[in-house]
Structure 1
């Protein structure tokens, strides 16, 4: 029934969903089964467990790509007005722990240009308080050329100064770190990740579209901008 659903699902206008949406749909069904059926031990995304489903999805995705159907649409950058609305939303207040977490997460998305999985491995030690402001040490991989250093590198990003009572990324992030209880001061920046990011298999960029646009707008050359954002190209 699942592979029949994948074959037949269309949006209301009769058009096919995007390629990413089809993959996300299968991942969502898989999560639903694990959450609702306690005895469910299989994985819909495993080719060995469900060869027909995976071969069907693979065939559909390849056909869609070849025909140019359901390709991901380019994202419009967040406008300054929209960003202000988000930051001023009542669930983004830095005055209580949960909303402060939302606030800090957004700052790190915008200024640190993290990819989805990087949030899960983010460490407190990547943030260094300096006289010039908060310094973020972004770890990234590049093609391994061999040698003693391997392919792990660090790119340092100095967060912009706070604008008193208006834009306060440095203050908010430092406040979040200081609020962590002493006995729970783990090395991870986020104390708990509710889902395994690799199992969700969801395509998202966590605010990187506005991040990369701002990096280019400030006059950075393409090579430097790619290093900061983690993008492989400017396209």
Structure 2
């Protein structure tokens, strides 16, 4: 039976709580592609700054963030994030990092360093066995991979996104309530959209996909259809392992 595989880059952008991470990973798994969570890289850099006891918005934070040794795995089945060799996948999702990541991400030098690394990772995956990658973040279609064949900007109402984020936090044992989640989502939106360097916005040629009324399955169906329309889905026979 033929196996569907992604060839090329799918760029997924959008604000917090739109379901980017969930659908990006599932799409990558379904289409035998690589997966890159660029936000995790900024979170890891932020953790390095916080561990150094520095103000995330201060100039002193820049060399620490730029010099942080960050490794991210591209297997959608087992994504990993390491800082200086240490597994920090859980720690970077905590409120401490979440509250500070926009400030660290706003430093142009930090963005330049991580964008270079993100492009290197994308190139490495495309040159490898997978030949396709789903990349999610806030500036993928506009900055990181402006030549991506398919760019999708996911959006949803602030209330729905806050509910999703709050549910996610509670499942992870981080607590929180709906009102606090809404305030956090609105604050992050304002910071990410208002920064001078690589502000959060859809690429001019991006498809806007409102997920307010869609579940994960609905979003995946829409994304697969868009990928197929752009000629990014290959149908081939399953070969033997090399």
State the TM bucket, normalised to the shorter chain.
under 0.3
Does 1 or 2 have the higher relative contact order (CA < 8 Å, sep 6+)? 2
Q: Which has the higher strand share?
A: 2
